[in-house]
Amino acid sequence: PRQDMTLLVEDIHKSFGGVQAVAGVSLSVGAGELLALIGPNGAGKSTCFNMLNGQLKPDRGRIVLKGQDIAGLPPRRIWRLGVGRTFQITATFASMSVLENVQMALLSHAHRLFDIWNPVTREDPARAMALLERVGMAAQAQRPCGVLAYGDLKRVELAIALANDPALLLMDEPTAGMAPSERVALMELTANIARNSGIAVLFTEHDMEVVFAHADRILVLDRGRPIAEGLPAEVRADPRVREVYLGT
Ligand code: ADP
Ligand code: MG
């Protein structure tokens, strides 16, 4: 086990009644690294994510973030410790502007959410604009989130996640519902930001071309268990992966 990793997961398990959703998953992600978690539907990917963000408590196993065991802590504490996430369902306020949404995320990070209503103490827009520049959305800062194209909304959500200054970013199917060209653009952006800012990224993705193009390493699950792990080229060539997942 690599102790210098941002995230270190050791042998986590989770059952729902008789269903063993996750049965012994270990992984690690370092700063600036992108690890893809892949596998067929029902493999246990989302259950892993939900244990990492605190929505589910593992039955056993360790989840260590920057040296601290966070397994079973409530979601809010885990978020405070620097675990960001993007949502499958959009988490922005449609009638508020892009800029206001990001300002609100910054206030929330600073425990000052109520200041959004106070024009005097309101968050300085410069920091929010800087985040929007990082995700390529500065030109649309004044538009309400509700009118944005889907791919642009995903960029705003990335800015909102970055407002929490995460050490680890969890993205469960971030590109679901997006056109192929938008998928590539979002993952390229995510990879650039992760590498430049030293953020560890764990993501799931159905589009194998996107996975092979952007993941540094890949972990393959099948029925709650890891069946392969390695560099994209290694995983692509693994006969078990081809059989279970790629169907060839
Ligand atoms: P994936 O995200 O890889 O598609 P999931 O983690 O969502 O897989 O699901 C893994 C298994 O656990 C599936 O068999 C699923 O039906 C089951 N499962 C997931 N969440 C629950 C839950 N809250 N209650 C009961 N069973 C669940
Ligand atoms: Mg899932």
Let me know how long the chain is. Answer: 248
Show the DSSP H helices in 69-179 as ranges.
75-80, 98-109, 125-134, 150-162
Residues sharing a CB contact under 8 Å with residue 68, sequence separation 6 or more, in sequence order: 81
CA dist 147 and 67 (Å) reads 42
Q: Which residue has the tokens 């952007």?
A: 214
pLDDT at position 207 is: 86
**Ligand number with the minimum distance to the CA of 173:** 2
From the alpha carbon of 39, which atom of ligand 1 is closest? 3
User: What's phi and psi for 180, nearest 5 deg?
Assistant: -50, -40
Q: Is the CB of 47 under 6 A from ligand 1?
A: yes
pLDDT at position 209 is: 86
Residues of the chain under the 50 pLDDT cut: 1
pLDDT (tens digit per residue) in 48-74: 999 999 999 999 999 999 999 999 999
Region of 180 (left: φ > 0; alpha: ψ -120 to 50; beta: rest) is alpha
pLDDT at position 242 is: 84
pLDDT at position 107 is: 83
Q: Is the CB of 40 under 6 A from ligand 1?
A: no
pLDDT at position 90 is: 63
Q: Is 228 helix (H, G, I), strand (E, B) or coil?
A: strand
CA 226 vs CA 56, 203, 209, 218: distances in Å: 19, 15, 21, 11
CA dist 26 and 39 (Å) reads 15
Pick among 3.40.50.720, 3.40.50.300, 3.40.50.150, 3.30.1330.40: CATH of 1-82+166-248: 3.40.50.300
Predicted complex ipTM exceeds 0.85: yes
Helix %, strand %, coil % of the chain (to 5): 40, 25, 35
CA dist 60 and 47 (Å) reads 13
Give the H or E element holding residue 24. strand 19-29
pLDDT at position 247 is: 60
What is the DSSP annotation of 37-94? EE-STTSSHHHHHHHHTTSS--SEEEEEETTEE-TT--HHHHHHTTEEEE-SS--S-T
From the alpha carbon of 14, which atom of ligand 1 is closest? 12
Closest CA to 9 of 47, 46, 62: 62
Q: Is the CB of 248 under 6 A from ligand 1?
A: no
Q: Is the CB of 3 under 6 A from ligand 1?
A: no
Name the residue ranges covered by the structural domains of the chain: 1-82+166-248, 93-165
* Residues in the 5 Å CB sphere of ion ligand 2: 45-46
